[in-house]
Amino acid sequence: MSDIAIKIENLSKQYRLGQIGTGTISHDLNRWWHQVRGKENPYLKIGERNDRASISNSEYVWALQDINFEVNQGQILGIIGKNGAGKSTLLKILSKVTGPTTGTVKAKGRIASLLEVGTGFHPEMTGRENVYMNGTIMGMNRQEIKSKLDEIVEFAGVSRYLDTPIKRYSSGMMVRLGFAVAAHLEPEILVVDEVLAVGDAEFQKKAIGKMQDVSKNQGRTVLFVSHNMASVKSLCHSGILMQQGRIVFDGSIDDTINYYLKEENQKFKEKGGIEWKDPKERPGSEDFQLKKVFTSTNREDFKSVFSNEDKIFICVETEVLNELRNMRLNFRLLDKNDVVVFTSSSHSNEKSIKETGLYQYTMKIPANLLNHGTYFIELQAGMPGVKQILLNTKVLSFDIEKLTDSGTTHSTILPGVIAPTIEWVIKPNYI
């Protein structure tokens, strides 16, 4: 096939863990000595798969291992995976910021990467000067920028401020200007990280639209990395799923996302609750720990499948190990696409000083609110403005079973994140 735009073969990247410094010189000398004798680098053999959670005894770790894939021209490929799966490392290699340890990347045409918008912007320079600065950093020459300057400024919507130093710009204006330059780069291959997370909704839409346009109408190839399943789904054609530095799934974007979510959900298919017996495994910090989390209808028995007419109790048992001031527990309910359904905080029910000891929280989700499907519970705790004592942690999932029939002859699943019972009043002859 002649329309492969980018081909990646056996790509691997090894990192050294821990302190860089002491010991490097001896490793360097050893490596050099092996090289002189024509032997293989002794440190390439060791190294483990990259799993953040497990404590490894090797100093070396593979951030990427045996990555192979191809992308056809004009395609938009989504790269998804958990934090630390190797997505950013892959992007860094593609954008030549860092080199691979083994393997090759072959590409047709210029690769431009957008790991950040507005790289090289200097606050003291004017908008115009910064367009040139940023453009040349990304590999355009002055002539190219000159011919596109009007378009760029128009896309960014900052023409009035073109000769103002950008330190006077709002942060949104700066992002728009940065993206506008990048969007007019016209590379054959565009590599985009989650830069779109910044900027307002309107701008995000504009940016996604631009990427679609670039791929569809100009036949350019886009590689897009994101945690936001919704934008990946709407933008990409195909996807790859990365896990611990390897590709574990490769297919259409819908299949990839489904596979990812299924994998993720598997872990939560507990019997409606988890209890951490070993204090070392408990999520939290030295001040605050989770002991047990479960969902229930009667506050006692674990339950993971509910009917939409059930009240759902979410019970969280915690231990406060050091006295806390103004601490609050926040709880987010997510749907299967990681969309936040709602957020709730213990804030108004907490005392300002919390002594050490055991605390049980119970949250009640009213009946007839949630729709059919799987939901996730994410917990986070902290003292606002002081510190986090429990980072956002997905602890549990539960399912809402099919809506029970209420008068209708056949049950249907209505689309929507929630399905509350809405009161309808219908008056005939209302005049």
Partner 1 sequence: METQTWDTIIKPKRSLLSVNLAEVWKYRDLLRMLVLRDFVTIYKQTLLGPIWFFIQPIFTVLIYTFIFGEFAGISTDGLPKILFYLSGTVLWNYFADCFNKTATVFKDNQNVFGKVYFPRLISPLSIVVSGLLKLGVQLLLLLGFLLFYHFFTEVQLKIHLELLLLPCLIILMAALSLGLGMIITSLTTKYRDLVFLLQFGIQLLLYATPVIYPLSSVPEKYQWIIILNPMTSIIETFKYGVLGTGIFSWFNLTYTLLFTIIILILGTLIFNKTEKDFMDTV
Where along the sequence are the contacts to partner 1 (CB under 8 A)?
A: 2, 4, 7, 15-16, 20-21, 24-25, 28, 92-111, 113, 115-116, 119-120, 122, 124-125, 129, 132-133, 136-142, 188
Of 14 and 256, CB closest to partner 1 = 14
Name residue 152's amino acid.
Answer: I
Give the shortest CB-172-to-partner 1 separation in angstroms: 20
Of 37 and 267, CB closest to partner 1 = 37
Residue with tokens 């798969």: 49
Token duo for residue 172: 């949104």
Choose among 138, 134, 252, 253: nearest CA to 191. 138
Give the shortest CB-85-to-partner 1 separation in angstroms: 18
Give the shortest CB-145-to-partner 1 separation in angstroms: 8
Of 32 and 342, CB closest to partner 1 = 32
Give the shortest CB-138-to-partner 1 separation in angstroms: 6
Of 114 and 320, CB closest to partner 1 = 114
Other beta carbons within 10 Å of 265: 15
Of 207 and 395, CB closest to partner 1 = 207
96 CB-side CA count, 13 A = 8
Give the shortest CB-180-to-partner 1 separation in angstroms: 16
Strand ranges in 326-406 using DSSP code E only, listed in sequence order: 328-335, 340-345, 353-354, 357-365, 373-383, 387-400
Specify the 3-state DSSP secondary structure of 206: helix
Of 102 and 307, CB closest to partner 1 = 102
Of 24 and 58, CB closest to partner 1 = 24
Give the shortest CB-132-to-partner 1 separation in angstroms: 6
Of 142 and 168, CB closest to partner 1 = 142
Measured CA distances, 225 to 76, 77, 233, 235, 247 (Å):
11, 8, 11, 11, 14
Give the shortest CB-15-to-partner 1 separation in angstroms: 6
CB 268 within 8 A of CB 377: no
Give the shortest CB-35-to-partner 1 separation in angstroms: 11
CA dihedral 294, 296, 300, 302 (to 10 degrees): -60
Distance, CA of 211 to CA of 199 (rounded, Å): 16
Letter string b/e over residues 73-94, b meaning 16 or more CB atoms within 10 A of that residue's CB: bbbbbbbbbbebbbbbbbbbbb
